[in-house]
Amino acid sequence: TIAFPPLRHPLRYLFVIGTALNDSVRAAAECFGVLRLIGDRIQQRIIQRPSQTELGALVETFQPHVIHLISHGEIDPATGAASLRLYDDTIDREVTVGGDALAERLVRKAVAPAMVVLSACASGAPLAPGDCEPLATSLVRAGVPIVIAMAGEIDDVACRLFARSFGEALAQDQPPVWAAMTDIASDVAVAPAADNPDAALIDGWLRRSDVDLLPSFNGKRSAAPFCGRLDIVEAFYQLMAERRPPVLCITARPPSNEPLSQLGKRRTLIELTATATRDGHVPVPLLLHRKHPEGYPRSEAELLRRLASAIKRTRAAYGLAPRDGVLAGALTATDQDAWSDALTADLVALRDDARTTHALIAQRSGNVVVLLNDVHEYGTGTPYLLQTLVTSFGLGAAGRVIPVVLTFRYGSPHDDTLLDVTEGEKRRSCFGPPMRLEPFAPGEDMLAYQRVLLQPYRSAPDAATRRWFLELRQRPMVDRVQRWFAKGTQGYPGKLWSDGFQVALEAAMPDEANNFRGIVRPASDDDLLALVRKQP
């Protein structure tokens, strides 16, 4: 008997990207299309180009409700069997995985996902619906109740339209599919025509009465904060599972000729904050920046006052009963040892009260995590934080670890302290190996560009929302625009949001400015979908 995880919200959703990011299958378009619509309602994981062993191990530990696999499919000309091509990073080459082998990786210890979505086809000629059936049937026979398989050649536009329709379905109450899932009614859904890759649309489910409503720290949904730093997300999962030291550092070293270039530290923390919330943890974000109206804290006491305020805001966001903060009272005295003890007491109380109030947090053994941006700007608070406040228990105490995520950049007066405690010979054991934000490498940049260009749905976006529609038909034009992006942004996320975007775009190739104005323009999603539906 094959079971599947109990359908409790937030649903666990696993994206498996089996292709390179600059591959003709636009994995980013599909992943982010779904995440943009339901990302604040699911607990997601994204694994990129895994080995079969890694894939099986993650499925076994994460136990996803939905597995969304994005890759190439092909037909063996000798046998007619359908298979997937997955890129295995451990051996640096592609491998072919048939239906039975795939089922072995996705159905673990008699537990199957409730749904598998196979966004895969041959990279060239379209496939007939029957060609895809054996691969999907293998998963159904292995115990997966619902399999969505696709026919035809999947291109960027098709992925985008499918992702949006799929996400919209999942975000609505659709009783037929909910009933099918709860009754474990096995079925295979295949696109009805080989020449119509946009037709693979499904119904979905969301029982709002089952949702343990938690606050969202996503901020503006049009901000698109995350740009594919999957290694940092994986390190964050390890941090919250206490499988690495309790302080996760994210560092950046901008080039000397552009000291203010933005590499996405704060945007990464915003995404980790949202991820923590969906995973049943309680984030306490202090996401300060240069233009913040209150500025940065510049002393030990001011840093702790800001943390006390952040804890109070988090309690209110989670609907917890008011509580007199121990830290606020301790700050009236000058005993710094008492300050750190008081901070720990308030954080532990926040964790315990959240578990008592929210069943999801209790079920997940959710913990508090503190996220601090630009700690190099904290004046005398910087060495205090790095050398005294955080310990081998993070901001907690023995038996009550409170993990911390902090970002900093080199080039400040505190460089020596930062280097010593985080990665030098005197590195403190509470700091794990720092994660480095670098300008996007080729391949990664396509993920970032698609995230910016594929914005959340707004039929009439406000003037401050920067969204652009690329109407591209020929591969040389795609390559040319990609080269312009790489040259114009130099891999820095902050430059993707520059107010001079359109000016720079037209100035990039003055002799072809009209050409570029013809293919890149501001647009609403209604414009995009209207065009997509007219395409052959």
User: Is 3 a member of any domain?
Assistant: no
Residues 380 and 457 in one domain: no
In terms of Cα–Cα distance, which of 204, 353, 367 is closest to 279?
367
pTM of the predicted model over 0.75? no
User: Is 216 a member of any domain?
Assistant: no
- From 437, 457, 487, give the residue that closes a domain: 437
pLDDT at 310: 93
pLDDT per position as a tens digit, 391-424: 999 999 999 999 999 999 887 888 888 888 888 7
User: Is 344 a member of any domain?
Assistant: yes
pLDDT per position as a tens digit, 221-238: 333 334 456 778 889 999
Strand (E) or helix (H) holding 248: strand 247-252
User: Is 2 a member of any domain?
Assistant: no
Residues 449 and 423 in one domain: no
CA 187 from centroid of its chain's CA atoms? 30
- From 210, 240, 273, give the residue that closes a domain: 210
The CATH number linked to 82 is 3.40.50.360
User: Confidence band (pLDDT; 50, 70, 90) for 192?
Assistant: very low
Residues 199 and 257 in one domain: no
Distance CA 195, CA 192 (A): 9
Q: How far is CA 385 from CA 69, 292, 382, in A?
A: 42, 20, 5
The CATH number linked to 278 is 3.40.50.300
DSSP-derived secondary structure for 143-197: T-SEEEE--S---HHHHHHHHHHHHHHHTS--HHHHHHHHTT--EEEE-S-TT-G
pLDDT per position as a tens digit, 335-372: 888 999 999 999 999 999 999 998 888 988 999 999 99
Distance CA 216, CA 40 (A): 7
Residues 277 and 405 in one domain: yes
pLDDT per position as a tens digit, 273-320: 878 887 889 999 998 877 777 889 999 999 999 999 999 999 988 889
Residues 142 and 203 in one domain: yes
Residues 411 and 467 in one domain: no
Residues 407 and 323 in one domain: yes
Residues 356 and 309 in one domain: yes
Residues 90 and 119 in one domain: yes
User: Is 288 a member of any domain?
Assistant: yes
- From 421, 437, 453, give the residue that closes a domain: 437
Domain span including residue 480: 444-532
User: Is 222 a member of any domain?
Assistant: no
Residues 335 and 449 in one domain: no
| Sheet hosting strand 82-88, strand order edge to edge | 72-75, 82-88, 93-98
User: Is 427 a member of any domain?
Assistant: yes
Residues 90 and 26 in one domain: yes
What is the overall mean pLDDT for the chain? 71
Q: What domain count does the chain have?
A: 3
Residues 384 and 467 in one domain: no
User: Is 1 a member of any domain?
Assistant: no
